[in-house]
Amino acid sequence: MTKIAELPLDDVAVEQLRKSFAGPLVRPWDARYEEARAIWNGAIRRRPALIAGCTGAADVITAIRFARERGLEISVRGGGHAVAGFCLCDGGVLIDLSPMTSVRIDPDSRRARAGGGALWSHVDRETQAFGLAVTGGIVTHTGIGGLTLGGGIGHLMRKLGLTIDNLLSCDVVMADGRFVVASENSHNDLFWGLRGGGGNFGIVTSFEYRLHPVGPTVLAGLLMYPLNEAAEVLTYFRDYVAAAPDEVGILGNLRLAPPLPAVPPELHGKPVAAIVVCYVGAVEDGEKEFESLRRFKTPALDAIAPKPYVAHQSMFDAALPHGRGYYWKSCALPPLTEEMIDVLIRQAEKITSPLSTMPIFTLGGAVARVREDATAFSHRGAQHNLNILGAWQMDDPDPERHKAWVRETWEAMQPFACGAYVNFMSDEPADRVRAVYGSDKYERLVSLKRRYDPENVFRHNQNIVP
């Protein structure tokens, strides 16, 4: 876009915009501003000057041009779930894709086309009507956009690959307002960067995915143990995942036991270790596969059972609701060692909030069989990704202690870490972003940024600086 003299953002300008914009335009004094501004992480309080609710690519193009003509910062919201709150900018224009939630399934070709503002609940609902699925997040009120562009880990990844390994094409609006389709056959350099490079290169208004037969019933659930048994549990977990078939989606978790009816009362509020599984195949095959896992030690809670895939996908939704304060860090890890297990247990004993958790995602399988340089996503060879998740109620008098626990745990795991996952990072400095990708991949991303967004219009993200 040719740089022109900056124009004002005033009532006249906004009213003029309304004539060419189909969606709602919300300003700070409007009655629904606070509702429109609210995002998943309640600790992020930035206030855009204009929220442009887009109904399609035409609105996105119009909003980008409007903001750039006025020299205003641009942020982008899909599901609004990024822990760092990148979708909010102070005093700029929030390009809000949340009205764009349509999902269309072609069951014959096993493909899905989903709008850039869709949530995983929208995708799962439509795909499961045909007994199909694609790897999605483990919280269904997460937006598909941010999760996909960062890589996309989830319960199905060891069998089906990451979300980006099933991405066929993206409709993208560029910083200069151009519209392009990125795929292996068109703008393939951009397509490479979109698969793991985040929202650095453009606004994706539509995603096309390859689908696979899954469900609608799967064998899934969790096993829970008191923390004094965690060393034995995590050691078994380590040995089990080393030889587990691709059909096994599995993660470990360390947290304080919630006061739910299914949890034994004596564990309520106490540190526990859990193993969460999902078998991507026939239920009877899963029963055989999980037999030793369920019997190596008697759990305090065995909640593995046949259930709808959508029920398993949403099992963590209530534990991670909108409006709480959140602060995360991430470590990609090799197979667990005794020393790593000791550190994890020690940090679990120090958890400061009953809402904080430490899920230990397990990669391998189909994830590891894709070449490291095939996409921008990094560290496919890692065995695990540890998400150190701090959470607290918004009336907590000292949220900093929860952030301090996250930082302390992250520091304690750094001697073992081999990278991180961009979707689990909060307030990271630029050198951390470079380290996540590695120097060669980062320089390739910088080259893409210079080509597609040289003025760094899309900088509210884990930013690749041109």
Give a yes or no: residue 346 inside a domain: no
3-state secondary structure of 389: strand
Please give the structure tokens belonging to residue 104.
């269309």
Q: What is the pLDDT of residue 332?
A: 97
- Last residue of some domain: 178, 213, 248? 213
Tell me the HSE value of 39 on the side-chain side, using a 13 A CA sphere.
30
Give a yes or no: residue 159 inside a domain: yes
**What is the distance between the alpha carbons of residues 232 and 56, in angstroms, rounded to a whole number?**
52
**What's the structural domain count of the chain?**
2
DSSP state of 103: E
Q: Could you read off the pLDDT of 342-371 as tens digits, one per residue?
A: 999 999 999 999 999 999 999 999 999 999
Percentages helix, strand, coil for the chain (3-state, rounded to 5) are 30, 25, 45
Q: Is the dihedral of CA 115, 120, 125, 128 positive or negative?
A: positive
Q: What does the pLDDT average to over 417-445?
A: 92
Quick one: 71 and 149 in the same domain? no
Give a yes or no: residue 430 inside a domain: no
- Last residue of some domain: 96, 129, 164? 96
pTM: 0.95
Quick one: 74 and 124 in the same domain? no
Quick one: 108 and 88 in the same domain? no
Quick one: 35 and 17 in the same domain? yes
3-state secondary structure of 311: helix
Quick one: 80 and 30 in the same domain? yes
Dihedrals φ, ψ of 335, to 5°? -55, 140
Please give the structure tokens belonging to residue 38.
């609210």
Q: Could you read off the pLDDT of 414-428 as tens digits, one per residue?
A: 999 999 999 999 888
Give a yes or no: residue 91 inside a domain: yes
Quick one: 25 and 117 in the same domain? no
Q: What is the pLDDT of residue 428?
A: 83
Quick one: 87 and 186 in the same domain? no
pLDDT band at 267 (very low <50, low <70, confident <90, very high): very high
Distances (CA, A) of 206 to 66, 112, 149, 422, 427: 21, 10, 12, 21, 28
Q: Could you read off the pLDDT of 122-145 as tens digits, one per residue?
A: 999 999 999 999 999 899 999 999
**What is the distance between the alpha carbons of residues 256 and 304, in angstroms, rounded to a whole number?**
20
| 72: containing domain | 11-96
Residues in the chain: 466
Give a yes or no: residue 226 inside a domain: no
Quick one: 89 and 22 in the same domain? yes
Here the CATH number for the domain that contains residue 151 is 3.30.465.10
Quick one: 114 and 200 in the same domain? yes
Q: Could you read off the pLDDT of 398-416 as tens digits, one per residue?
A: 999 999 999 999 999 999 9
Please give the structure tokens belonging to residue 13.
């300008």
Per-residue pLDDT for 228 more than 90? yes
Quick one: 86 and 137 in the same domain? no
Give a yes or no: residue 54 inside a domain: yes
Here the CATH number for the domain that contains residue 30 is 3.30.43.10
Q: What is the pLDDT of residue 9?
A: 87
Give a yes or no: residue 389 inside a domain: no
Quick one: 34 and 52 in the same domain? yes
Radius of gyration for the alpha carbons in the chain, expressed in angstroms and rounded? 22
Quick one: 116 and 60 in the same domain? no
- Last residue of some domain: 213, 234, 259? 213
Residue among 240, 217, 242, 252 nearest 289 (CA): 240
Q: Could you read off the pLDDT of 155-202 as tens digits, one per residue?
A: 999 999 999 999 999 999 999 999 999 999 999 999 999 999 999 999
pLDDT band at 114 (very low <50, low <70, confident <90, very high): very high
Give a yes or no: residue 27 inside a domain: yes
Q: What is the pLDDT of residue 431?
A: 85
